[in-house]
Amino acid sequence: MLACFSLVVRKGESWRSDRLVLNKEVLSLKVIDCFVPPLNEVGEDFVKRVRLQIEKSGRGRWTADLTNELFRFALESVCNVLYGSRLGLMQDFIDSEAQKFIDAVTLMFHTTSPMLYIPPSMLCRINSKTWRDHVHAWDVIFRHADKCIQNIYRQLRLDRENTKAYTGILASLLVQDKLPIDDIKSNVTEMMAGGVDTTSITLQWAMFELARTPVVQEQLRAEIFAARQAAQGDMLKMLKAIRLLKAAIKETLRLHPVAVTLQRYTTQEIILQDYFIPAKTLVQVGIYAMGRDPKFFTKPELFDPARWLKMDSTYFRGLGFGFGPRQCLGRRIAELEMQLFLIHMLENFKIETKRGVDVGTQFDLILIPDKPIYLTLRALDSQP
């Protein structure tokens, strides 16, 4: 899901040693608690932004295609965790430097799609506009990373006594000094790039499905209210209690996976019934097709988060983040980001959409809705 390209193409001991260091900083259960405060902060600001839009409408509700809003939320969230700094994307006015960064991320995604069909080496050789734009976008993105690194070093020099405070993944990796700085910068930057469209699109699908299934929406809301009360302000404790909400995210990724396939090379020859697969063969699993296969999921067309709580085993059922040593590096960040977002949205708003609206899927580097999804948000405290 959140592809980290340099780690995907590399292999051998070099890849393994780097990955072990990164795993401790982004996948370890001991460190992910540190991600909650920065992600929660952005989620709370998004609620304030929605309330402001409802107030501006003068109708007690806000109806919109939230694609751009969710993109901004996802970028603000992942940057706050990775770089330990905010871009100010939850405000109407955006700083010019932050806007350049946003535009570069958007351009990077847009210019990546053609490279799936035309070899990048060819685009480079003919110096095509797509290639020039792509390189320019990455230059801007990495300049932003350089600036963040410089700011972190400056803060560390000025505040050496407060080194125990968590200031983001980038700062933590720099302080440990276990990876070359170029490797740190590339991996953190790529996690940022992979963690924007993918998370924002999944949240858009999740809200759409919840709007179409008000019963499920109310079940999730009841679970959240109960967990909030039992946790007594302890967000970490609350997160452990929202089993159905976590299942709703899995169900969303089953119906609307961001990736088309999951790819792996076999390490040894495999014999399956009438099939012989030689070693070192590239094998692809169709995630979208598997998620809708009735052999694996009863009534696969239904949005039913509770199915994940009833299964004897979910092993190899949910592959949205991959699996094994090469599973998505940003998995924990994405999961927490989506969980906290849905907690805040369901605690504060009723999510609605027009009845009978059907939205399909199209491929544009990732799987996205084939038309705008319009959602209506109503504040719960203003409901009759």
Is a pLDDT exceeding 60 seen at residue 5? no
- Torsional sign, CA 249, 255, 257, 262: positive
Mean pLDDT of 22-39: 89
Distance, CA of 93 to CA of 336 (rounded, Å): 27
Q: How confident is the model at residue 66 (pLDDT cuts 50, 70, 90)?
A: very high
- Cα 276–278–284 angle (5° rounding)? 85
Dihedral (Cα; 238, 239, 245, 249), 10-degree rounding:
170
The predicted structure's pLDDT at residue 277? 87
Q: Are 147 and 79 in contact (CB under 8 A)?
A: no
Distance CA 213, CA 251 (A): 13
- Check whether 296 has a pLDDT greater than 60: yes
> Has residue 213 got a pLDDT over 80?
yes
358 or 364: which carries more pLDDT confidence? 358
Is residue 6 predicted with pLDDT exceeding 60?
no
CATH assignment of 13-246+331-382? Answer: 1.10.630.10
Token reading at 75: 């970028």
Share of the chain above pLDDT 90, in %: 48
Mean pLDDT of the chain: 88
Q: How confident is the model at residue 87 (pLDDT cuts 50, 70, 90)?
A: confident
Which stretches of the chain are DSSP H helices?
5-9, 12-26, 36-57, 67-82, 96-112, 120-125, 129-158, 169-176, 181-194, 197-212, 214-231, 235-241, 243-255, 287-291, 307-310, 331-348
Separation between Cα atoms, residue 148 and residue 82, nearest integer Å: 10
Query: What is the arithmetic mean of pLDDT over 41-48?
Result: 97
Per the document, the length of the chain is 384
Q: What is the DSSP secondary structure assignment for residue 381, as one 8-state letter?
A: G
The dihedrals phi and psi of 369, each to the nearest 5 degrees, come to: -60, 145
Q: Is the pLDDT of residue 278 over 50?
A: yes
Q: Tokens representing 336?
A: 């927490």
Higher-confidence residue of 36 and 274: namely: 36
CB-based burial label for 235 (10 Å; 0-12, 13-18, 19+): middle
Going by pLDDT thresholds of 50, 70 and 90, the confidence category of residue 261 is: confident
* 80-94 mean pLDDT: 89
* Structure confidence by residue, pLDDT tens digits, 234-250: 999 999 999 999 999 99
Averaged over 133-155, what is the pLDDT?
Answer: 88
For CA atoms 244, 249, 250, 252, the dihedral sign is positive
Q: How many CB atoms lie within 10 A of CB 47?
A: 17
Q: CA 207 to CA 346: how far, in whole Å?
A: 10
CB 210 within 8 A of CB 351: yes
Instruction: Give me 368's structure tokens.
Output: 């996205």
CA angle in degrees (0–180, nearest 5) for 194-89-182: 40
pLDDT at 182: 87
Distance CA 116, CA 119 (A): 7
Place of tokens 């809003």: 69
pLDDT at 272: 79
Q: Residue 9: what pLDDT? A: 47
Domain ranges (residues) in the chain? 13-246+331-382
The residue that leads in pLDDT, 146 or 209, is 209
